[in-house]
Chain A
């Protein structure tokens, strides 16, 4: 009854994109066909980058003279991997913590909510901005690995409270259901309940969460890049031809990751819109694919729930009928329980 056609197609498209991007060193030019000046046969400069999209440059070039389609192919792996890792980490950490909150420490839940109340009222882009400025705001001598780790920590942290609270709410709901209650009455431990009853539910929810979090991560990396906070930090070389009075260069993304490409070039927009439109449209396509997957998963879950609810209604009516006819039984049970 459940269909996963779109999910399979979408995820395989993304996988292919990722693979193609990972294999870039085997087929793509190392310098992205860098060409800043076009000279005629006498050596006079007749044109300079950025070049608009044409037969020679499919998507145009950047101001550095690098061809955009190679750049995009090279950079997409960082975007996708980051989005996926952040989303997965958020869901895994949030899932564990949320279940812990709802099963072992329900009293902590309201305190947890209060502690992270700020996150509810301040748009996450602002928080991410404040948190990332000290590390990524300017070029520094720190190793890339630690910058990336820091950024991942921040990105995971931003989404962590909401996922945790959501998981806690869901497992609270599940805990009230009759099947969990009855196994609790029969003496099942909490670990057992998690293993047998919550995890099977959480698996389908978890996938949906992950997809949702991928979406939000994509959005936030894109927004952060506008403020010059690129994934993987800044490139020392900067963008060609942009130096302010003190010789400082306009920041450029080190990884050539899509969000970074948007962020480093958005000021070019009035002159060379293609430099910005190419990565933004790329983002749009990826988001469209992810959204398609999300929708199908949601539909599946909802359909599942409707079926469940119908089943439940029947069960309830059956129960009430039984209940009225077996009053004696209840008495006996009560006496036993009191003893």
Chain B
């Protein structure tokens, strides 16, 4: 019973936090020369929003969202997200293994090269790719890389590469750091002393132990990917999911649609979080057993 109450309180808090955050512009109104604060208006709007949310049976409920091409665009955006996520993981793993196996001097140089990418702003990467595609088109006259999403076209290749460029280095940096730390573990020394090869230790033993950490880190990767996708879809004029979201905001769509859209957008993050929670629980459980 107490747990149920606690859960209710939590749910209420999350909802009220949501309402508060998205109605903040109403509290801090702008006057001619000063910032004005009106709580009354804010309270009224919050109340009406809440009422709106509770009228699930109304035919108008989520009516706005039904007009838009939600399913198709959502599929498109999620395809980009998932394809880039999978390719990031694969490429980062392979590159990390190669870097770890390379000689010391080269390794240090490569590591500092990767660290350099930490500072590159995402817009610069997007612009550089755009520049590259345009020059390629100008030089060859062949349009084999679709860039803009005009006339309802949905390009895949360029957005995926653009979006996953920086997160790749983010994950790679993390992987290298984690594996380097793992190398000082006792079991690695033991395996080395037993005469097991470097590649085998890395592939069979260390990757397996590092894996949970990677899953936890993937949350950040998805976060960066999502905001990059948002930027890219806007800049390349692609009719993706974030476009629908924009339409809802610009045309004054209702609050329920906004919530639904945001929920759909943050769904992959929640899935990742759940996976991370499960894995960490499993590991902790194991530790308890082993103790």
Contact = CB atoms under 8 A, between A and B. Distances in A.
Nearest to B118: A291
Nearest to B248: A130
Contacts of B16: 115
Contact of A116 (B10, B17, B130): B17
Nearest to B135: A273
B131 interface: yes
A146 B33 contact: yes
B98 interface: no
Query: Range of interface residues on chain A?
Result: 35 or more
A141 B33 CA distance: 10
B30 to A, nearest CB: 5
Interface in B205-260: 223, 226-227, 230-231, 234-235, 245, 249-250, 258
Contact of B123 (A134, A153, A280): A280
Which of B30, B32, B118 has its CB near the most chain A CB atoms (within 10 A)? B30
Interface in B1-52: 9-10, 13-14, 16-18, 20-22, 24-25, 28, 30-35
Contacts of B123: 222-223, 226, 262, 280, 283
A interface: dominant SS? helix
Contact of B35 (A149, A273, A280): A149
B230 A123 contact: yes
A304 interface: no
A291 B127 CA distance: 21
Interface in A248-300: 262, 266, 269-270, 273, 276-277, 280-281, 283-284, 287-288, 291, 295
B124 A111 contact: no
Contacts of A133: 249-250
B134 to A, nearest CB: 6
A127 B227 contact: no
A142 B32 CA distance: 5
A283 B22 CA distance: 30
Nearest to A125: B227
A212 B226 CA distance: 21
B186 to A, nearest CB: 17
Given A125-B230, A270-B134, A119 B21 contact: yes
A153 B25 CA distance: 10
Interface of B: 9-10, 13-14, 16-18, 20-22, 24-25, 28, 30-35, 115, 118-124, 127, 130-131, 134, 223, 226-227, 230-231, 234-235, 245, 249-250, 258, 262, 265-266, 269-270
Given A116-B17, A219-B121, A287-B121, 4 more contacts: A146-B34, A284-B121, A284-B124, A291-B119
